[in-house]
């Protein structure tokens, strides 16, 4: 069964796209046939992989998805690009419950040839994120180690619960990831303690350090694992891939 990991948090700038790109690349390098799906109208995952957003969003185009798949610099990693087209975004975002289910079916029906699919979500709890969650088997939530880290998490968790309760949902909590971790900061230690006390084992042991190589990599259309393999950021993402593969 294809694993579909949805990378979601309604907070902006917490490392969703960075995690989606690096996890996708790391799993592809480990030999898994991997697909990165961009449902964020910002299209950061698309441009970060060196591609242009498409005219029509492949998920509302209703052509077979495989016709929209793009190759990347890794033979085992494909990309389903995002679109900035407002009509399509509205169609996805204003879709009724039954349309959302159709999109989810469309996505899951076309994914059989992949071992793992990663969906990069926009910073919102709206229907785009709900549609992505509805088609996922796991949700992975990056949390940035900063003062407002825990704020808004209860709404996010409520939306995840609602999706889990849908009749055909196979969604599980895949894990919480601490990002932009700076061990020199007391605040980082505080967030780490608070998140682990509250969520327990669901929090990944691996933490992603704040590392300039991580933020530079997308401008070279590469994951940090390929751009600067010896960097702390790259090593952390490789470690995260191992943890994700162990958590099947
Ligand atoms: N570990 C890290 N070290 C340094 N910079 C990072 C790290 N992770 C992410 N960044 C940078 O932080 C910014 C936000 O990251 P990213 O785009 O992945 O977040 P996001 O949650 O996808 O944002 P959005 O909510 O807008 O989609 C980017 O400029 C990215 O390069
Ligand atoms: Mg993003």
d(CA 84, CA 88): 8
Best residue among 8, 12, 17 to mutate for probing ligand 1's pocket (most ligand atoms within 8 Å of CB) is 17
Spatial distance between the Cα atoms of 14 and 17, rounded to a whole number of angstroms? 9
The 10s digit of each residue's pLDDT in 95-148 is: 666 666 666 666 666 677 899 999 999 999 888 898 889 889 999 999 999 888
Q: Is 179 in the pocket of ligand 1 (CB under 6 A)?
A: yes
Whole-number Å distance between alpha carbons of 225 and 8: 22
What is the reported pTM?
0.95
How far does residue 132's CA lie from ligand 2's centre (Å)?
14
Question: In 3-state terms, what secondary structure has residue 231?
Answer: coil
Look up the CATH number of domain 3-246.
Answer: 3.40.50.300
Two tokens at 231?
């960097």
Place of tokens 């975002």: 93
Cβ atoms of 225 and 237 closer than 8 Å: yes
Query: Which of 7, 8, 12, 13 most suits a substitution to test ligand 1, by most atoms within 8 Å of the C-beta?
Result: 13
Q: What residues form DSSP beta bridges with 177? A: 142
C-alpha 219/C-alpha 226 separation (Å) is: 13
Q: Which pLDDT value is given to residue 202?
A: 95
Q: State yes or no: pLDDT of 42 exceeds 70.
A: yes
The whole-number pLDDT of residue 108 equals 67
């Amino acid at each position: 069964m294809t694993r579909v990991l949805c990378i979601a948090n309604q907070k902006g700038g917490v490392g969703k796209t960075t995690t989606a790109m690096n996890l996708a690349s790391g799993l592809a390098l480990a030999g898994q046939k991997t697909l990165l799906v961009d449902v964020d109208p910002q299209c950061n995952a698309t441009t970060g992989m060196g591609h242009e957003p498409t005219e029509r969003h492949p998920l509302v185009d209703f052509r077979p998805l495989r016709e929209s798949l793009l190759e990347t610099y890794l033979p085992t990693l494909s990309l389903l690009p995002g679109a900035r087209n407002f009509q399509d975004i509205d169609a996805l975002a204003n879709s009724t419950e039954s349309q959302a289910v159709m999109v989810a079916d469309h996505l899951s029906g076309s994914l059989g040839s992949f071992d793992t699919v990663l969906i990069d979500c926009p910073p919102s709890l709206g229907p785009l994120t709900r549609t992505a969650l509805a088609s996922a088997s796991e949700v992975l939530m990056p949390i940035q180690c900063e003062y407002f880290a825990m704020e808004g998490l209860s709404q996010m968790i409520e939306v995840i619960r609602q999706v889990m309760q849908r009749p055909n949902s196979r969604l599980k909590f895949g894990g919480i990831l601490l990002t932009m971790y700076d061990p020199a900061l007391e605040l980082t230690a505080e967030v780490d303690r608070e998140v682990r006390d509250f969520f327990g084992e669901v929090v990944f042991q691996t933490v992603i350090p704040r590392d300039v190589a991580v933020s530079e990599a997308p401008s070279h259309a590469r994951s940090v694992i390929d751009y600067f393999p010896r960097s702390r950021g790259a090593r952390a993402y490789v470690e995260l891939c191992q943890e994700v593969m162990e958590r099947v």
